[in-house]
Structure 1
């Protein structure tokens, strides 16, 4: 399915809205231990949507930071971290506990939660990563590549996007959370 060049996304209650432009870097399901642990905690929050798929995978649509704009609800963003020393944060809409994106410290992309798209418009998964972290990777369907870790193709896409951005990494400010 061809993704529109401009798209609006929102949290479950609609108070936080994001606008994205252009095609994503990739659409992946992550099976790593930290995404599964975070997904379990995030989806247990009051009113939060289901984050994890049936085998514990999290669908992410990876987008360049310079192609994501917060249109409304900036003050409602909350950071969720698995560890105070961790190099990543998950950002959610504090109004309804909808996970919005995963951001790596210094990263030039955002991993937007696939659950933000209506099912009929959600970008199709192209690959699964970190399947070696699953208790039983054989339970995954074989509809896309199931990668034990991450592939050269995965890193090449990230590098291509970073080059296109002039090696910049825009900041996204979240109230009460220092992250650079």
Structure 2
């Protein structure tokens, strides 16, 4: 999958993004920020669902140099949970489809897995389980972390090194 390109598209097809190669991580987040952000963007008129049935948001996280908007970038609008939030949830204004979120202090972009065509890579981890509020059975297909977990930080660190050295 090193040179594969995964395409994500909004509901109406006017906005398209791409991730090049394997994402740094395919993970589900249950943090309070992701839940509040999902509440906000899912409440938009005609918005697509971003969360899984158990309340988690499945992201494919890419290095910034491997993720881009290839069509309709002018239609993307940034939404913040609160004025000082470090993340912008980028929504296709044409059809109110949440496409990705950008952490302003980081070198990565987390795209909503639901927006990708075909099969998204399997979930590798679930994070911030302390905020999960669901009675649905927890899948046992990946490790679950009460916080963000060392594995996630290791991936972010090594991806930054890879970006620096090309």
- TM-score, normalised on structure 2? 0.91
Q: Give the paired residue count.
A: 166
Native 8 Å contact 1:11 1:96 kept in 2? yes
User: What value does the CA root-mean-square deviation take over the aligned residues?
Assistant: 2.0
Runs of 4+ in 1 over 6 A off after TM superposition: none
Gaps of 5+ in 2: none
Secondary structure, aligned partner of 2:74: helix
CA distance in 1, matches of 2:135, 2:155: 25
Summarize the Cα distance change of 1:22–1:82 in structure 2 as closer, same or farther, 3 Å threshold.
same
CA distance in 2, matches of 1:9, 1:159: 25
CA distance in 1, matches of 2:150, 2:142: 16
Gaps of 5+ in 1: 169-180
CA distance in 1, matches of 2:78, 2:26: 23
Is the aligned partner of 1:131 residue 2:129? yes
Native 8 Å contact 1:25 1:63 kept in 2? yes
Summarize the Cα distance change of 1:40–1:72 in structure 2 as closer, same or farther, 3 Å threshold.
same
CA distance in 1, matches of 2:165, 2:84: 25
Is the aligned partner of 1:36 residue 2:35? yes
Q: 1:136, CA displacement in angstroms?
A: 5.3
Q: Which residue of 2 aligns with 1:89?
A: 88
Q: 2:163 aligns with which of 147, 162, 165?
A: 165
Native 8 Å contact 1:40 1:52 kept in 2? no
Q: Which residue of 1 aligns with 2:16?
A: 17
Native 8 Å contact 2:123 2:141 kept in 1? no
CA distance in 1, matches of 2:144, 2:60: 17
